[in-house]
Amino acid sequence: MFKKFSQLGRAFMLPIAILPAAGLLLGLGGALTNEAAVKAYPWLAMDWLQTILKIMNFAGNAVFSNIALIFAVGLAVGLANGDKGTAGLSGAVAFLVYTATIAGLIQLFSPKGTTIDTGVVGSIVIGGMVSFLHNRYRKIELPQFLGFFGGSRFIPIITSFAAIFIGAIFFMIWPPIQSQLVIAGHAIAKMGSIGTFFYGFLLRLLGAVGLHHTIYPLFWYTSLGGTASVAGHTVVGAQNIFFAQLADPNHIGLFTYGTRFFAGRFATMMFGLPAAALAMYHSLPKKNRKKDGGLYLSGGLTSFLTGITEPLEYTFLFVAPWLYVIHAFLDGLSFYFADILNIRIGNSFSGGFIDYLLFGVLQGKDKTNWPTVIWFGLIWAVIYYVVFRFCISKFHVAIPGMNDDDDDSSSSESSADKNSSLHEQSNQIINALGGAENIQSVEACATRLRIAVDDNKKVDKKVLKDLGATAVLDVSGGLQAVYGGKADLYSQEINGILGTDK
């Protein structure tokens, strides 16, 4: 079950990885073309510059307007065992057939004005259906007179017929589900700030094992995240509403209340975790700070700029899981306080400085209340520093560099390995995993390799860590190794060596 959820989470990362670039276009375009910005900065009024910025706005908005299609394709590709190009094409065709089926049935059998928007839920069903049929039938052999339609050519055909069937089912079952989702969204809204706390706490807690990707899309892209009318159109999902308001030049006042599912990230990622990194650095024996301090400096800087927190979190997650629970609790409180302080900043991917600048500062105080993040974040930094410094010192948490008897020869070997070529490093990882015969699959999310193996006992974790893994986590049927930004590069190279990238 863990492997299935882990694979689903990894598949979600493929379409989600597109959003930062689209958010960048939409954030800059929306921020610098609205009337208030042009009045404040007259040099923005140049025709050629406004043309470029508006095109950026349209381009970014195109991605978010078609997010359901992108998710369907991304899930089909991410869950396919091979021939991923065919899976992606089949996912696109199936989703178009699915939405056309629903639209046709509405036109034939429903009252005028009826709308059915299945959002990311429909994407998950279509993407899952396509990947299932693709993995099962992509090598099918048909009778000779139908031979042309065999193999991979069979997949778009069978998935299209399946999409018609699924579309008809959703036409019947979704209206009551849609109304219940709206009710559920209102119920969560009625929970107010307490509900926001639980959302932030559970999201961070599940992030420890990479399962948070299966949770937050339901709030970002479905009615659980709210429903709003923007520029005459009904929009569902917290992030969809935020970007619709961002693209609406006539929007005034604070952005949607649904931004509570984003705003709590900024204090933790920009202030809290960098302060925790400083606390961990100060907790190291002085003689080890020069050698190991870079790990905490780079982790804190990455969290501040991009909101990617795993490289830093994995320095203490496995040696002190209870400290990670405290961190998750603090992050939940960050969401709670951001809510009650009326911070209304959205984001495209994470809660780092880049998103804070684009979707907070550049959108204006009246829409986001962005200055509050600074003074609250400074307080949050002090709290994180005190909590982490106390816990690590009091309970002697064995974070990297804490022990006096660190093996210098191992460190030297690690540096040599990390300076070798990507191909050589990938071969070393394969050997550390027990050889090609022990490996079932190797995939990557943003910062981790997700590896399925036949026998975990054959895995040499020390070699994996010597090659730069911040942490190695055993899971049922495999393991996860945290390699930061190189995870995807390793995944591609290893699959190329194993011949499983076809």
CA distances from 50 to 218, 231, 237, 252, 399 (A): 35, 21, 29, 21, 51
Residues 188 and 273 grouped into a single domain: no
Domain assignment present for residue 251? The answer is: no
Where residue 391 falls among pLDDT bands split at 50, 70, 90? very high
Q: Taking 60 as the threshold, does the pLDDT of residue 409 lie above it?
A: no
Q: Taking 90 as the threshold, does the pLDDT of residue 342 lie above it?
A: yes
**Is 391 known to be catalytic?**
no
Cα(497)–Cα(491) distance, integer angstroms: 10
Domain boundary among 175, 192, 209: 192
Domain assignment present for residue 56? The answer is: yes
Residues 163 and 36 grouped into a single domain: yes
**CA proximity to 361, closest of 32, 44, 22, 25:** 32
Query: What is the number of alpha carbons within 13 Å of residue 250 lying toward its C-beta?
Result: 4
Query: Which structural domain range is residue 172 located in?
Result: 2-192
Domain boundary among 367, 395, 423: 395
Q: What is the percent of the chain with per-residue pLDDT over 90, rounded to a whole number?
A: 28
Question: What's the CATH code of the domain at 435?
Answer: 3.30.1360.60
Residues 180 and 270 grouped into a single domain: no
Over the stretch 99-116, which tens digit does the pLDDT of each residue have? 999 999 999 998 877 778
Annotated catalytic residue within 295, 445, 459, 467? 445
| Reduced DSSP (H G I as helix, E B as strand, rest coil) percent helix, strand, coil of the chain, to 5 | 70, 5, 20
Domain assignment present for residue 136? The answer is: yes
The conformation of residue 350, written as its DSSP 8-state character, comes to -
Residues 274 and 357 grouped into a single domain: yes
Q: What is the percent of the chain with per-residue pLDDT over 70, rounded to a whole number?
A: 86
Where residue 420 falls among pLDDT bands split at 50, 70, 90? low
Over the stretch 55-85, which tens digit does the pLDDT of each residue have? 988 888 888 778 889 889 988 998 888 888 8
Task: Give the chain's domain count.
Answer: 3
Residues 428 and 385 grouped into a single domain: no
Residues 479 and 447 grouped into a single domain: yes
Cα(20)–Cα(362) distance, integer angstroms: 16
- H helices of 208-320, in order, are 216-221, 238-247, 260-266, 273-283, 286-306, 310-313
Average pLDDT over the chain, rounded to an integer: 83
pTM above 0.75, yes or no: no
Give 46's contacts (C-beta < 8 A, 6+ positions apart).
Answer: none
Q: Where are the beta strands (DSSP E) in 417-492?
A: 439-444, 448-453, 472-475, 478-482
- At 6 the pLDDT is 57
Domain assignment present for residue 201? The answer is: no
Contact of 356 with 373, CB cutoff 8 Å: yes
Domain assignment present for residue 53? The answer is: yes
Count of residues in the chain: 502
Over the stretch 130-150, which tens digit does the pLDDT of each residue have? 999 999 988 888 887 777 778
Domain boundary among 362, 395, 428: 395
Residues 270 and 168 grouped into a single domain: no
- At 95 the pLDDT is 96
DSSP assignment string, 180-229: HHHHHHHHHHHHTHHHHHHHHHHHHHHHTTT-GGGTHHHHHHSGGG-EEE
Residues 320 and 419 grouped into a single domain: no
Domain assignment present for residue 155? The answer is: yes
User: How deeply is 148 buried, as exposed, middle or buried, from its count of CB atoms within 10 A (0-12, 13-18, 19+)?
Assistant: exposed
Sheet holding 439-444, edge to edge: 439-444, 448-453, 478-482, 472-475
Residues 445 and 361 grouped into a single domain: no
Average pLDDT of the segment spanning 145-157: 82
CA distances from 137 to 37, 94, 114, 358 (A): 55, 16, 37, 45
Beta bridge partner(s), residue 236:
227
Contact of 91 with 72, CB cutoff 8 Å: yes
Cα(97)–Cα(84) distance, integer angstroms: 20
- At 473 the pLDDT is 80
Over the stretch 282-320, which tens digit does the pLDDT of each residue have? 998 888 888 778 878 888 888 898 787 877 887 887 678
Residues 490 and 383 grouped into a single domain: no
Domain assignment present for residue 233? The answer is: no
Residues 22 and 94 grouped into a single domain: yes
Domain assignment present for residue 401? The answer is: no
Residues 35 and 184 grouped into a single domain: yes
